[in-house]
Structure 1
Amino acid sequence: MRSEDTSSREVRLELEDLEAEYDHYKSSEQIADQQEISRTSGGPFQSAKKGEDLVKQSEVRCYGSFSSDSIYDSVPTFEESAVSLKEYYDHFIREKLTVRSAGNYVRSIFPIVKWLPHYNWTWGYADIVAGITVGCVLVPQSMSYAQIASLPPQYGLYSSFIGAFIYSLFATSKDVCIGPVAVMSLQTAKVITAVLAKYPENTPGITAPVIATALSLLCGIVAISVGLLRLGFLVELISLNAVAGFMTGSAFNILWGQVPALMGYSKLVNTRQATYKVVINTLKHLPDTKLDAVFGLIPLVILYLWKWWCGSYGPKLADRYLAHSPKKKKILKGFYFYAQAMRNAVIIIVFTAISWGITHNKPKKKGPIKVLGTVPSGLNNVGVMKVPEGLLAKMAPEIPASIIVLLLEHIAISKSFGRINDYKVVPDQELIAIGATNLIGTFFNAYPATGSFSRSALKAKCGVRTPLSGLFSGCCVLIAIYCLTGAFYYIPSATLAAVIIHAVSDLLASYRTTWNFWKMNPPDCVAFIVTVFITVFSSIENGIYFAMCWSCAVLLLKNAFPAGRFLGRVEVAEVLNPTVQLVGESDSSLNCQEVDEYCESSKKFGQMKPSPNELPVTATPDNRFHTKWVPFDHGYTRELNPDIKIMPPPPGVIVYRLSDSFTYLNCSRHYDIIFDHIKKHTRRGKLIHLRKKSDRPWNDPGEWEAPSFLKNLFKRKKDVTDVESLGDTNTVTDERPLLKVVCLDFSQVVQVDSTAIQSLVDLRKAVHSYADRQVEFHFAGIMSSWVKRSLLSMQFGTVNEAFSDESTIAGHSSYHIARASNSIDNSVLEYGPSPDSQVLAATGTNMPFFHIEIPDFSKWNI
């Protein structure tokens, strides 16, 4: 206790005066006024006649205790207003229309401006190592993927070098390597085949490279437009499982499409058919296998063995036998890493040398194996592309699937590596980067390029520091274009097929991925499997479109069929630092941390002790319980221990929690759920037997009643007292309560629309008609000011003439108050309220039907 100085005496005298005033208030005529207001309006701020005067008072009088030493306090009223368009403009739009924001937008298009001035030698060394390493992988892969796209190999080189150069200027991801990829190459081949089929054979100017470059032009225009308009969020409409489905199906398609080339009979199988047909035809022609299989199967086996040894088994041996020598272990692991990265290049070099040895003395086109052939040196036909008339129109049907593959694959890869390596990737800027890359690539005869997962993973493992590493990768490709094209002639086609199969096999989803989809969400697993099957048995385009439709359908269904719940109440309390009573040791009690240590020590010594889950928690008697509203099916929703029994709301009160947004998609369903529940658990306000037959609705006429002459004939008397007793000889009393309060929990509603608000108005009208009186509509947990504005526009939440007349129930109004402190030091609030804290109204006192949380209706006089 503090010493009683002058200020404390004044406070004590003031409290005594307040107590005396309160006692006088209880014995005065104001009690009668209060009861009259409660009887007619449901509370002192809900009367249409007197409420408006009361809410204009300067204070709200609250009887009870805010603290241990006061029984009467006054809280200033808080007049809350609806949000306006001007406030929205000031809050969200004004700052985006300034010259400064325009400058920031322009600077955001070139992220390199922010980090290039800080470039240093440490970054440069890491970028050079990563860039050259990736460049050595990029050269053989780009020529291989060009074959998938049914293009000459040099076009893969053109796409890879320009992609590496341009992307580094616009990128927000340091790890992504842009260039030709397997799935996009397959889609390019599909587009080329479809467009060529629309032209007569050998039409001048219509060639596969021209179509591929025109596709790059269209993809670039769309991607850069979406990025500049900041519409990258549209890419998120397609779910991960759908993307994984068509990626797996496409990889399976590519893999089987390369088997004929691997075995040496590629001319006998049409690899542009549906995948299942390619598989059947490939197996049919196995007897036609040629010597090429030696240059395909052997490299393929070596590549997988190499990957297993350098990527898995070798490092494990290093950890096991060189644990005592960290330096040697680090050197050996470094060797394994770079050997793993160079495996494709080494295999191609070795088997190209063997191919040269057996074919350089043979006439061209008559060699024992099929080789890559002539690759033009340098950059040919550089300049503005000339698009043949009508070509873009004939390509239009193939464009959507191509753009989806291009954007989805790149965004998924860039965001994945951003999360792994702890930096932020801006999807809109990535779309600008990929769009600029493909647009500028049309000047170099490039075909569509996007992010590669395997090369990006390699860059990340090499310790790349900035996007500038792409410049060094591009230089490696340029050197190959100008200096190594003569050697490219002798690369065996079967060896390139082996490299493709080895690279694409990483895109196949493993059984673990499928099982994880099933464990996380079974419908996602179904979508994944169906997408794979459609891609394999139909086409990659149909797989993509199914993935899109499935994602959109799931989104719509989740909104159209909301998981609304009716709520009941339970008393809960928070137990801080609970003690745990050990079973069989009544004198022992531990806190939670000590329990874990105790159980661990018991295990070490082989003692059979109960697990922490089996130990009863001892709650202290001063725990403060408060009302928590949870669904009645809490055993299914897992919100609460299923052994706890949920208490229903007081009779005549319905509490319903809406989920997600409340819009035109789901408002009708919410309406039906709520009104059906009301009719099932409450009775009508006016008994139906008091209404004429002609006044009853056609769909609720009651039970059939015998004509009067039959009644007189059999002398049967009828005493009907309720809706349900009509037509029955026994008097039945409906003990269901009258509906008094409908409380809607809006804590999960982030937006509404006019259709939904109108359905709420219709519900209010239907409920009033059913109850034959006005029923209070309360709203709790509204998060959006625009949701509150929408409700206010239809006279929800406030006292008004239309919906607060003398038929409103008698009860008590409820307000939430908040204790606020002027101190920002958390330590002051750790053990109690701050000395300078004050109590304020939490919500507007002019809106008594809006609450911070669901009121405790059990304490109301309903």
Structure 2
Amino acid sequence: MHQLLHNTIEKDKMKDTIVVDYPPIPLRQQCRYHLRLFPHYIRHYFITLFPIIQWIHRYNLSWLLQDMIAGITVGIVVVPQSMAYAKLANLDPQYGLYTAFVGAAIYCFFGTSKDISIGPISTVSLLMGEAINVITTEYPDITGPEIGVTLALFAGIVLVVIGIIRLGLIVDFIPGPAIAGFMTGSAITIVSSQLPALTGIGPEVETHGSPFHVLIEFFRNIRYTQLDIAFGLVALILLYAIRFGCKRLETRLEKFRKSFFYFNIMRNGLIVFLGTLISFLISIGKTTTPIRVIATVPAGFDAMGIPGLNFQVIRAASSTLPSIILILIVEHVSIAKSFGRISGYTIQPNQEILAIGISNIVGSFFGAYPATGAFSRTAIMARSGVRTPLAGMFSAAVVVLALYALTPAFYYVPNAILAAVVIHAVSDLVSSPHYLKEVWCANPSELFIWIITVLVTFFVDIEVGLYTAVGLSLATVLFHLARPQVHALVRVQSHYYADEKDPNFSKKMEPLPPGLLVMQPVDSILYPNAEYISESIIQTIKERTRSGTMTTYGYYASQNLQKDIPNENYKEDKDNKDRPWNEPRSIEHGRNHGPVLCALVFDMKAVRRIDSTGLQMLISLKKTVLNYSGNDVEWHFVGLNPIVRNQLAAFGFGRLSLQNLSFCSTNYHPVDNSIKKGDILIHKKTPAVVVEEEGGGGSHIIQHQEETDLEIGMPGPSTTITSPPNIVIEDYDVHQHYNAPRDRYNTFHWDIDTAIQTITQRWQEMPRSPLY
């Protein structure tokens, strides 16, 4: 009656248990489902190509006012900055204005960031200058503007393709420290290339080599300094003075905060205006200007035309083009993501890549060179209170005004002041000490990438620095993927499990049932790391258990634990004659003293994917464990996601095969190798050994011929041998999870406790000797 009541209570507790199952969906059914939704996919895809459709119908006068203020503010900044960047690219100033106009005007139709400002940037301009210098030297008949247009068109086509097929994830493979190292190296390169223009030394210094050589040449020719240094240094000092002064006054004088903010933003235009005015005044009545100036700038869009893909230029720039395209993507997406997080909205990286691709294609018709998002102008746009991407149209209007109304005044703009503007702008690209300290605290290896990238950029060139940053980043990712940690878990405080090497739990660890190990891979099991994970698991098994096979280091060695039982077959190997030559000493203790492995529990919560190599590794590992333990080991899995679960089930890991497991009572007799169960004497099945067939044809199980079948004999005398205390599983308290979800497959479990509970309950019902 008591047993019936107990069974009724157990059934009531299990009545509400959720049974988990993820049946694989047939391919035909999946195809039908997606074909039915195909029109919806097409409609959604084309809507995402034009994000302006989603918000333009809500546009209002309040947004218009804020966008106008922000757009005009950025326009005032971009005019002098774009002319300076054009000089950095070995182009005339108007080409920087063309680039700024098209980027600002086109982006709003395709972009998903309200803050970003498209136009020329320092790093791309520097690469363009190097490419133009190399190509024009090799092909004198090709002009710099033609090279810029060709590279803009080709880069735009590549970016559009990447955006359409949604390959924006390539940005995620380059970590922040690698980008920061490249930006810092680029800033050093740009500053060194602008020092001759800042001081008026002129063409005596070659500015297209590595920063190291440029600085050497600069100091060798420092005696040729001209009057330009007065304009350049004074302008640079004033730029920094206005910047830091306005920031301090903003915090102290709250009443005039907005006035100081806008005055700070307009410092570039103000300095260029004052420098141009002084340059004009000192040039009155002279046939030549005493300082180097921009000279004639044609009004309007003088370079408009249908571009063509000059494959000669593309071949000559084949080493630079990948760098330009990569910078266009990485810098734009990283800036857009950063300001999206600050302002509380999400950008679409693929759509952003498509937007800058279309901007560059359209820009090639206007004579522009490659453009992307600029950090400094984006920060100004955000602080100016921009509301929508339409603010770029107002920036473009300011550029058009400058092209048609201010080009006569550009004649007297000093080159030294433009160099000061560039140096001042790129100073923000240098990583701060606080950032480097954060990187060091987070991951010292990333600081190593930063240092190597900066050094390579400084001593070699900017392209090699970029490739070094990308290469080190990918190498780091592959190394961590190929060498994941595999933890052996132990129980701490009831039903919590932690790494046995964790010092925080060293005094609170509870032993697992003998013969049971809990392993936790901390990454997906893929072809780069499958073999390493297998080796780590095997090493852990050998360190904590002993072999159960018929060798002096296996079965007969295990009998040595029973000191009171004579065993004529056992011979102690004091000289280690039978010890495998390549066996590590770390597994000696487990080989001689540990229990034989009976069950493995894998915590798979961190395993998101398993490929075919990983699955084959698990199959091979299972055979290796079988050979080592001498009997089939129970394999249980915890925390599986649906995809990995179905993969394991398809490869036979979902069901527990009991036909080869050897069950026995605690009344185990090690001499006659038999167990007593009820009134029937059952002989133990001899351990199976997996033998690999030659030629890779798989494997087969060879059973020893002696006592391969269960033999039912007459009842015999029972000799009770008390097992060591550490192998009693009845005292292991397992936290009961009656309402925990239960999988349809009996080796897949919701948590580790449930898996261990399942194993120990079966061992109690059909006891299994931990000596085997």
Please classify the TM superposition score into its range, dividing by the shorter chain length: 0.7 to 0.9
Residue 335 of structure 1, aligned match among 259, 283, 303: 259
Alpha-carbon distance, 1:169 to partner: 1.0
Alpha-carbon distance, 1:545 to partner: 0.7
Alpha-carbon distance, 1:82 to partner: 4.0
Residue 478 of structure 1, aligned match among 400, 414, 418: 400
Paired residue secondary structure (1:396):
coil
1:407 aligns with 2:265: no
Residue 529 of structure 1, aligned match among 432, 443, 451: 451
The one-letter code matched in structure 2 to 1:134 is V
Residue 365 of structure 2, aligned match among 443, 456, 474: 443
Residue 250 of structure 2, aligned match among 303, 310, 315: 315
Task: Sort the Cα spacing of 1:351 and 1:770 in 2 relative to 1 into closer, same or farther, 3 A.
Answer: same
Paired residue secondary structure (2:365):
helix
Residue 493 of structure 1, aligned match among 405, 410, 415: 415
Partner of 1:844: 743
Partner of 1:265: 201
In the alignment, is the contact (CA less than 8 A) between 2:495 and 2:734 conserved in 1?
A: no
Task: Sort the Cα spacing of 1:82 and 1:765 in 2 relative to 1 into closer, same or farther, 3 A.
Answer: farther
* Aligned mates of 2:619, 2:733 — CA distance in 1: 23
Residue deviations 1:217-272, cap 9 Å, x none? 11101111111111111111111111111111001110111111111102111010
Residue 300 of structure 1, aligned match among 226, 236, 239: 236
Alpha-carbon distance, 1:664 to partner: 1.2
In the alignment, is the contact (CA less than 8 A) between 2:552 and 2:573 conserved in 1?
A: no
Task: Sort the Cα spacing of 1:853 and 1:469 in 2 relative to 1 into closer, same or farther, 3 A.
Answer: same
In the alignment, is the contact (CA less than 8 A) between 2:250 and 2:261 conserved in 1?
A: no
Residue deviations 1:294-321, cap 9 Å, x none? 111111111111111112x212331xxx
Alpha-carbon distance, 1:745 to partner: 0.9
Alpha-carbon distance, 1:389 to partner: 5.2
Q: For 1:463-612, list aligned pairs within 5 A.
A: 463-571=385-493
Partner of 2:24: 83
Partner of 1:188: 128
Alpha-carbon distance, 1:419 to partner: 0.4
Task: Sort the Cα spacing of 1:362 and 1:120 in 2 relative to 1 into closer, same or farther, 3 A.
Answer: same
Task: Sort the Cα spacing of 1:722 and 1:227 in 2 relative to 1 into closer, same or farther, 3 A.
Answer: farther
Q: Which 5+ residue runs of structure 1 have no aligned equivalent?
A: 1-17, 26-60, 67-72, 319-328, 572-625, 636-640, 701-717, 820-838
Alpha-carbon distance, 1:114 to partner: 1.2
1:739 aligns with 2:597: yes
In the alignment, is the contact (CA less than 8 A) between 1:816 and 1:852 conserved in 2?
A: no
In the alignment, is the contact (CA less than 8 A) between 1:687 and 1:721 conserved in 2?
A: no
In the alignment, is the contact (CA less than 8 A) between 1:249 and 1:536 conserved in 2?
A: yes
1:359 aligns with 2:283: yes
1:94 aligns with 2:94: no
Task: Sort the Cα spacing of 1:493 and 1:687 in 2 relative to 1 into closer, same or farther, 3 A.
Answer: same
Residue 807 of structure 1, aligned match among 646, 656, 662: 662
Task: Sort the Cα spacing of 1:567 and 1:690 in 2 relative to 1 into closer, same or farther, 3 A.
Answer: closer
Alpha-carbon distance, 1:843 to partner: 2.4
Paired residue secondary structure (2:549):
coil
Alpha-carbon distance, 1:421 to partner: 0.6
1:645 aligns with 2:508: yes
Task: Sort the Cα spacing of 1:484 and 1:851 in 2 relative to 1 into closer, same or farther, 3 A.
Answer: same
In the alignment, is the contact (CA less than 8 A) between 1:262 and 1:493 conserved in 2?
A: yes
Q: For 1:685-700, list aligned pairs within 5 A.
A: 685-689=548-552
In the alignment, is the contact (CA less than 8 A) between 1:689 and 1:726 conserved in 2?
A: no
Paired residue secondary structure (1:390):
helix
Partner of 1:788: 645
In the alignment, is the contact (CA less than 8 A) between 1:275 and 1:537 conserved in 2?
A: yes
The one-letter code matched in structure 1 to 2:502 is H
1:276 aligns with 2:175: no
In the alignment, is the contact (CA less than 8 A) between 1:814 and 1:855 conserved in 2?
A: no
Alpha-carbon distance, 1:157 to partner: 0.5
* Aligned mates of 2:569, 2:188 — CA distance in 1: 74
Alpha-carbon distance, 1:74 to partner: 5.2
In the alignment, is the contact (CA less than 8 A) between 1:722 and 1:734 conserved in 2?
A: no
Task: Sort the Cα spacing of 1:351 and 1:559 in 2 relative to 1 into closer, same or farther, 3 A.
Answer: same
Residue 777 of structure 1, aligned match among 625, 635, 640: 635
Residue deviations 1:645-683, cap 9 Å, x none? 312321111110011101111111111111122222222
Task: Sort the Cα spacing of 1:808 and 1:208 in 2 relative to 1 into closer, same or farther, 3 A.
Answer: farther
1:678 aligns with 2:535: no
* Aligned mates of 2:70, 2:225 — CA distance in 1: 39
1:216 aligns with 2:152: yes
Alpha-carbon distance, 1:771 to partner: 1.4
* Aligned mates of 1:815, 1:673 — CA distance in 2: 27
Task: Sort the Cα spacing of 1:187 and 1:852 in 2 relative to 1 into closer, same or farther, 3 A.
Answer: same
* Aligned mates of 2:663, 2:18 — CA distance in 1: 24
The one-letter code matched in structure 1 to 2:79 is V
The one-letter code matched in structure 1 to 2:24 is V
Alpha-carbon distance, 1:724 to partner: 5.4
The one-letter code matched in structure 2 to 1:83 is P
* Aligned mates of 1:455, 1:241 — CA distance in 2: 22
The one-letter code matched in structure 2 to 1:295 is F
Task: Sort the Cα spacing of 1:158 and 1:337 in 2 relative to 1 into closer, same or farther, 3 A.
Answer: same
* Aligned mates of 1:799, 1:849 — CA distance in 2: 6
When structure 1 is superposed on structure 2, of 283-292 and 78-87 the one drifting more is 78-87
Alpha-carbon distance, 1:80 to partner: 3.8
Partner of 1:32: none
Paired residue secondary structure (1:546):
helix
* Aligned mates of 2:78, 2:205 — CA distance in 1: 28
Paired residue secondary structure (2:509):
coil
Partner of 1:122: 62
* Aligned mates of 2:104, 2:621 — CA distance in 1: 60
In the alignment, is the contact (CA less than 8 A) between 2:548 and 2:554 conserved in 1?
A: no
The one-letter code matched in structure 2 to 1:651 is P
Percent identity of paired positions between Structure 1 and Structure 2: 36
* Aligned mates of 1:772, 1:389 — CA distance in 2: 67
Work out the number of aligned pairs and report it: 677
Residue 855 of structure 1, aligned match among 741, 753, 756: 753
In the alignment, is the contact (CA less than 8 A) between 1:816 and 1:843 conserved in 2?
A: no
The one-letter code matched in structure 1 to 2:748 is F
In the alignment, is the contact (CA less than 8 A) between 1:82 and 1:788 conserved in 2?
A: no
Alpha-carbon distance, 1:103 to partner: 0.7
1:721 aligns with 2:544: no
Q: CA RMSD in A?
A: 3.0
* Aligned mates of 2:553, 2:446 — CA distance in 1: 55
The one-letter code matched in structure 2 to 1:782 is L
Alpha-carbon distance, 1:642 to partner: 4.2
* Aligned mates of 2:315, 2:134 — CA distance in 1: 13
Alpha-carbon distance, 1:280 to partner: 1.4
The one-letter code matched in structure 2 to 1:185 is S
Residue deviations 1:340-399, cap 9 Å, x none? 011111111111111001113211xx3211111110111113121134453223222321
Alpha-carbon distance, 1:288 to partner: 1.4
Q: For 1:49-60, list aligned pairs within 5 A.
A: none
Q: For 1:42-81, list aligned pairs within 5 A.
A: 63=10, 66=13, 78=19, 80=21
When structure 1 is superposed on structure 2, of 250-259 and 188-197 the one drifting more is 188-197
1:669 aligns with 2:532: yes
* Aligned mates of 1:816, 1:646 — CA distance in 2: 16
Paired residue secondary structure (2:751):
coil
When structure 1 is superposed on structure 2, of 152-161 and 662-671 the one drifting more is 662-671
Q: TM-score, normalised by structure 2?
A: 0.83
Paired residue secondary structure (2:488):
strand
In the alignment, is the contact (CA less than 8 A) between 2:163 and 2:350 conserved in 1?
A: yes
* Aligned mates of 1:854, 1:189 — CA distance in 2: 61
Alpha-carbon distance, 1:720 to partner: 6.7
